[in-house]
Structure 1
Amino acid sequence: MPRLSSATFPLVRPWTAVMALTLAVLLSGCQGGPAPSTQLSESSSTTAAPTTSAPVPTASATPAGPPTSAVYKPADAKGKAQNVPVPVMPELAKENSKAGLEAFIGYWYAQLSYVDETGDMSSWLPLITQDCRLCLRLQESGEDGYIDGRWLAGGRISVPVIEVQWAGGDATQWSKVQVIQEGINYYNADGTTGRASDEMTNDAFALFAKYVEGQWAVTDLGLLS
């Protein structure tokens, strides 16, 4: 989906108070403990990679249903992506636990990456709440990227680091997530360039999620400044 800048929408704040978080904290390998108190912003120029990281459980990006001979073809200047593997939610991601939330976040971003490649957000939308303002702006920009025959090339997302800040008994849990997104090219239905390309990004996000009626849902999201 089109990448959003800080000028596109107002500051996203956590559900209770302004959080004091920095990318340096994310990449230091700090685990657990209460959330520090810096504010969230919607843009970041950070490009540093983590010094250490634990294996991150991610959704399998294999087509649902029986095996198929269809070959995946990423989007390019000639047309849309074809036969994009559909992310499958791990069973662990359905659990109300620290490990379950970590697996859910991997799946959530896999679905968001799938939205970028296909414009299909039918499986991603049930994973957010209407309280997540940045999520709603991502929805709007994702829809705009594929309206009237438009498409995107690139934009695939990976999450090499997920640090769940689990607080037992709290209704809402939060995590620090490193999100790397490929550069994006935009095309109109006739193949002409739709708008200026976006470069690759490497950012740190604070993601807040709540376990509701047997599943996780993202309630707030923002870049860490």
Structure 2
Amino acid sequence: MSRLSLKNSRLLRTSALALSALLLIAGCAGSPSADPSSSASGSSSESVSPTPTATPTPTPSYKPASEDGPAENVPVPEMPAVAKEHTEEGLKAFIEYYFELINYTNESQSTDAIAPSTNLKCASCSRIVRNVNNYKADGMWMVGGEYSIDLIYADLSNRPLGYKYANIKFHQSASTDYKGPQEVDEEFELSSDIRWQMSLKPVENGWIVVDMGAGK
């Protein structure tokens, strides 16, 4: 056996003896084993509780007016994109939308939606707002009475102040006014073949009703 091999053999034997001694000392001086119950308790206390899932708020459902009470949660009409165009098609679409606003105003007894599209000097428009406010103040409401347009003739020719005009034909369904639950105040029959003329002003986001009333 060569000298190099002999030297390596001695070194390995000496290292093995030293390692055995260290392991023996470590075994004698080691810390006592941990209490299993203590370990389990620590893990339990550090566990994170699951985050509760938020319950979505339900959307209030629409309740139409009836003999028992006024309407609730009436959906607000949305203006179609075409109604913002200053064209014949846009004018007709806006008038249809405006009559939806009138129906919404009567049913919901709220004038917030119709106000931005109405000129304050419009007499017929002001009468609608005034009637709605009076009904609400007196604790009254209407069942029925929806407006439906039958015909629109639009006139986009140049007029003073840039106004545009339209002749419309519409009808209003039969209605009943209530002054309390199941307490009738007045009843109205179907009104048909109603003819009005409307004056409208083109604005940036559509139109504004300047005036409307019985056509000549």
Q: Normalised by the shorter chain, which TM-score bucket?
A: 0.5 to 0.7
One-letter code aligned to 2:183:
T
One-letter code aligned to 2:167:
K
How far has the Cα of 1:216 moved from its partner? 0.7
One-letter code aligned to 1:182:
S
1:187 match: secondary structure: strand
1:78 match: secondary structure: coil
How far has the Cα of 1:80 moved from its partner? 1.5
- The 5 Å alignment of 1:193-208 reads 193-194=184-185, 196-202=186-192, 203-208=194-199
Match of 2:111 among 117, 121, 127: 121
Distance 1:214 1:73 in 2: 31
1:188 match: secondary structure: strand
Distance 2:170 2:59 in 1: 30
Residue aligning to 1:217: 208
Residue aligning to 2:89: 99
**Per-residue CA shift, 1:7-46, capped at 9, x if unaligned?**
xxxxxxxxxxxxxxxxxxxxxxxxxxxxxxxxxxxxxxxx
How far has the Cα of 1:224 moved from its partner? 2.4
- Max radius of gyration: which structure? 2
1:193 match: secondary structure: strand
Q: Does 1:177 align with 2:168?
A: yes
How far has the Cα of 1:175 moved from its partner? 0.5
Cα root mean square deviation, aligned = 2.2
Unpaired segments ≥5 residues, structure 2: 1-57
2:86 match: secondary structure: coil
How far has the Cα of 1:92 moved from its partner? 0.9
Distance 1:186 1:120 in 2: 17
Unpaired segments ≥5 residues, structure 1: 1-66
One-letter code aligned to 2:85:
E
Match of 1:167 among 157, 160, 167: 157
Match of 1:151 among 134, 141, 149: 141
Distance 1:131 1:167 in 2: 23
Contact conserved, 2:85 with 2:91, CA < 8 A, in 1? yes
Distance 1:147 1:217, change over 3 A: same
**Per-residue CA shift, 1:97-149, capped at 9, x if unaligned?**
22111111010000101111111121101111122111111211121122243
Distance 1:205 1:179 in 2: 8
2:98 match: secondary structure: helix
Residue aligning to 1:7: none
Identify, as 1 or 2, the structure richer in helix: 2
Contact conserved, 2:198 with 2:212, CA < 8 A, in 1? yes
Moved more, 78-87 or 152-161: 78-87
